[in-house]
């Protein structure tokens, strides 16, 4: 993904919402280690999924990025999505979401 152009990122952003759960989870996983604003935008959009597994895959990747030094800003949109995920998640999910908030830039 290091060789992605702006056009490639735009295409990925556009197709991401149309794909199934397994594809979206894998997309979130593949973005781990990718440090750019387009990847962060895609991960934030995946956090808005109705599928809890997709949300957690995106949250885990955001957490991984934050823990390895990437500046992950908790925007008002991301904060609202984290709050929503916490309400719908349960204990293991809450733990990941709490770590994400702790390790991110607010």
- Each of the 106 residues of the chain gets a pLDDT tens digit; together they read 778 999 999 999 999 989 999 999 999 999 998 989 999 999 999 999 999 999 999 999 999 998 888 888 888 898 888 888 888 766 667 778 887 878 777 6
Domain segments of the chain as ranges: 6-103
Rounded-to-integer distance, Cα 41 and Cα 44, Å = 5
**H helices of the chain, where?**
6-16, 21-30, 37-47, 52-67, 76-89, 91-103
Rounded-to-integer distance, Cα 65 and Cα 59, Å = 10
pTM score, two decimals? 0.86
């Amino acid at each position: 993904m290091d060789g992605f152009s702006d056009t490639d990122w735009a295409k990925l952003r556009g197709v991401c919402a149309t794909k199934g759960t397994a594809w979206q989870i894998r997309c979130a996983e593949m973005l781990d280690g990718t440090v750019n604003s387009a990847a962060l935008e895609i991960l934030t959009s995946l956090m808005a999924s109705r599928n809890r597994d997709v949300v957690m895959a995106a949250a885990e990747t955001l957490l991984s990025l934050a823990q390895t030094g990437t500046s992950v800003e908790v925007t008002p949109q991301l904060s609202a999505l984290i709050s929503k995920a916490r309400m719908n998640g349960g204990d293991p999910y809450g733990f990941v979401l709490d770590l994400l908030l702790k390790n991110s830039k607010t």
